[in-house]
A and B are shown apart, each in its own frame.
Chain A
């Protein structure tokens, strides 16, 4: 029998049992749709987070107190501005070492109030992290050494407090202390779930006086090149440990953060895909089951076809094509449903989704293979039917 003829016969058989074919397909449709949508959501989320971490600036090394290990409690910082000077000497460039002390504070301007994340920083922060000013100017070296009460506002805070008015030169209070606005940042949006437009940058010394401490929370170092990051990381941690023998310090690179997040999201995506894959498998079992029923129902037809000259192969191919048609049509419908769901999730919810060609190709390939795998047994059974027995069946 010609293959084109076999396709036509298989299609006719599916059409003859329309409702049954559709219900059988549904298992495959749901399975494939789940794989495509969930992999799309996993990929989209991973891409967004990577973009955000990279958006912090390249070749960054973050130094925080305590050990970054599962199960260890966050440690109180023992670092001071003297440690920043010591680390700057190790790095060899003062402009590459940023320090931060952060605290959530109420910020007021006249009758308006905003909740801001006050960041006590050095004047070099915009060159270590990627931060661009919208208006005014940033903190100066003098601001930091003299502890001048000046502030640079995030775009969100600026809008909340001043609306469309120009905030430059105006007075605000942070935690009840008066500051003068000297600049505003460009809008950044969310990063890793933190609203970065509510940051308020002030000189680290002013922040320390406000909070009544001489400590800082952590350091950020911008390495001159990628190759030196690991070497710098060890040298910086050693220097800090020498100065504070009783404390632990950890240094993490962007690559490490990306790696950890990537691993977690990769596992998560894998688990989601596996669950979806199981539903595809269940769909395949459904196809196998229906094909066995179909073979039994059409025993007489098989006997007649054999009597007039169908070889076992012809009958086997016919039933195999039927199973493959069921799963590939189901696969195509499932892909459409999966892509639609992923796009809807992307558009209507904060969860991002990215459709990758490989996940579509994989889903289609898997559904075709499911058809072949689960169609083989019924097809072989049909092909091997004894024509004498088959013709006698009523």
Chain B
């Protein structure tokens, strides 16, 4: 089985007003299609930068990064967008749903950029919302739903394109603990169905549920443990 993402000695340096700042200093990491991985670290440890690289939102300044078998260094922004659309699903701490748009149309959004027609988009979005337990919320707008429901909509949106990796950045950060638990349970059941799940979190309890844990500090992986 080919790895979903392979990072080899990946570094990322920012140029801030002429001063060079290293956010990642040589990180190697392989994500398999069945992985359930947590990336842990304090703020400034480089875990967000790593997540952006793994999700194809950003490109490394050193090392090689393969997403879905493709080296991202030679890709244009347009090709990167297509790669994200096809292989990655994002779940954010603050949900990032379009405010004036219904749950179904929010979920269908990634399919718009795949050039899929309106009818099929709506049908696939409906199926995905049923799968996350929101069949009764198809035409609700984000402000008519609870935080947990909004995060489920966001997860449905991440899944609708059939990605190989789900990247979740503090997915429980804005939720109370009971709701957070149910969102995590949903992610875990998806992982059981064959989607790699990568959690980025500073919450040790959340991280403890993953099968693999990576601890980051000062732009490096300081420890890696498998359960």
- A281-316 with Cβ < 8 A to chain B: 300-301, 303-314
Identify A391's interface contact among B84, B85, B92, CB under 8 A: B92
Do the beta carbons of B100 and A306 come within 8 Å of each other? Answer: no
Instruction: Contacts A300-B96, A387-B57 given; indicate if A308 touches B115 (C-beta within 8 A).
Output: no
Contact of B113 among A16, A310, A386, A391 (CB under 8 A): A310
* Interface core residue of A16, A300, A304 (most chain B CB under 10 Å): A304
* B157 contacts A311, C-beta separation under 8 Å: no
Does A5 touch B at the CB level, under 8 Å? yes
Is B52 touching A388 in the complex (CB atoms < 8 A)?
Answer: yes
Which residues of the partner chain A approach B142 to less than 8 Å between Cβ atoms? none
Q: Would you give the shortest CB distance from A14 to chain B, in whole angstroms?
A: 12
A16 B114 Cβ-Cβ under 8 A: no
In Å, the complex CA distance between A313 and B58 comes to 18
Interface size class of B (residues with CB under 8 A): 20 to 34
Check if B81 is an interface residue, CB within 8 A of chain A: yes
Chain A residues whose CB sits within 8 angstroms of the CB of B78 once the complex forms: 311-313
Chain B proximity of A394: nearest CB distance (Å): 8
Q: Per-position contact with A for B113-131: 1 when CB-CB < 8 Å, else 0?
A: 1110010000000000000
B96 surroundings in chain A (CB, below 8 A): 300, 303-304, 307, 391
Task: Provide the residues of chain B in CB contact with A391, threshold 8 Å.
Answer: 57, 92, 96
The one of A5, A311, A386 in contact with B81, judged by C-beta atoms closer than 8 angstroms, is: A311
Does A1 touch B at the CB level, under 8 Å? yes
Cβ of B7 within 8 Å of any chain A Cβ, yes or no, is no
B85: min CB distance to chain A, Å: 3
Q: Is B153 an interface residue (CB 8 A)?
A: no
Chain B residue with minimal CB distance to A392?
Answer: B48
CB-based contact B115/A1 at 8 Å: yes
Asked if B113 and A309 make an inter-chain contact with CB atoms under 8 angstroms apart, the answer reads yes
User: How far apart sit A279 and B36, CA to CA, in the bound complex (Å)?
Assistant: 61
- The CA of A7 and the CA of B114, in the complex, are separated in Å by 16
| Cβ A311 vs Cβ B90 within 8 A | no
Q: Is the CB of A1 within 8 A of B57?
A: no
- For A16, list chain B residues within 8 Å (CB): 100
Q: Which residues, 77 to 107 on B, are CB-close (under 8 Å) to A? A: 77-78, 81-82, 84-86, 90, 92, 96, 98, 100
Q: Number of contact residues on A: which range applies? A: 20 to 34
Query: Which residues between 23 and 73 of chain A lie within 8 Å of chain B, taking CB atoms?
Result: none
Inter-chain contact A308/B98, CB cutoff 8 Å:
no
Give chain A residues whose Cβ lies under 8 Å from the Cβ of B58. Answer: 386-388
Chain B's nearest CB lies how many Å from the CB of A154? 72
Whole-angstrom distance from the CB of B69 to the nearest CB of chain A?
18
Q: Is A2 an interface residue (CB 8 A)?
A: yes
Q: Determine the chain A residues whose CB is within 8 A of the CB of B112 once the complex forms.
A: 1-2, 5
Q: Which of B55, B77, B118 contacts A307 (CB 8 A)?
A: B55
State whether the Cβ of B40 lies closer than 8 Å to any Cβ in chain A. no
Asked whether A307 and B84 contact (CB < 8 A) given A2-B115, A312-B77, A387-B57, the answer is yes
Judge if B110 is at the interface, Cβ distance under 8 Å.
yes
A16 to B157, CA, bound (A): 23
Residue of A16, A308, A309, A311 with most chain B CB atoms under a 10 A cut-off: A308
Are A388 and B57 touching (Cβ within 8 A)? yes
Q: Which residues of B contact A386 (CB under 8 A)?
A: 58
Q: How many Å from the CB of B107 to the closest CB on chain A?
A: 10
Also in contact, A309 and B82, with CB within 8 A (given A301-B98, A304-B96, A388-B57) = yes
Nearest to A308 among chain B residues (CB) is B110
CA distance in complex: A353, B161 (Å): 60
Question: At the interface, yes or no: B109 with Cβ under 8 Å from chain A?
Answer: yes
Most buried by B among A2, A5, A309: A309
Q: How far is the CA of A388 from the CA of B81 in the complex (A)?
A: 13
Give min CB distance, A352 to chain B, whole Å: 49
Residues of B within 8 A of A311 (CB): 77-78, 81-82, 113
A388 / chain B contacts, CB cutoff of 8 Å: 52, 57-58
Q: Which of B98, B109, B113, B115 has the most CB of A within 10 A?
A: B113
Do the beta carbons of A308 and B90 come within 8 Å of each other? yes
Contact B114 A309 (CB under 8 A): yes
- The docked-state distance in angstroms from the alpha carbon of A313 to that of B76 is 12
Is the beta-carbon distance between A309 and B81 smaller than 8 angstroms? yes
CB neighbours (8 Å) of A387 from chain B are 57-58
Bound form: Cα–Cα A308–B161 in Å: 9
Known interface pairs A16-B100, A391-B96. Does A305 touch B109 (Cβ–Cβ under 8 Å)?
A: yes
Partner of A309 from B52, B98, B100, B110 at Cβ < 8 Å: B110
Nearest residue (CB) in B for A15 is B100
CA–CA, A311 and B78, complex, Å: 5
Closest to A307 in B: B90
Distance (whole angstroms) from the CB of B64 to the closest CB of chain A: 20
Nearest-CB distance from B29 to chain A (Å)?
Answer: 19
Closest 6 pairs between A and B when the two form their complex, measured CB to CB:
A309-B85, A309-B113, A308-B110, A311-B78, A311-B81, A304-B96
**Sample of 14 further A-B pairs with CB below 8 A, known A309-B114, A388-B58:** A2-B115, A5-B118, A12-B100, A304-B98, A306-B57, A307-B57, A307-B90, A308-B90, A308-B109, A309-B86, A311-B77, A387-B57, A391-B92, A391-B96
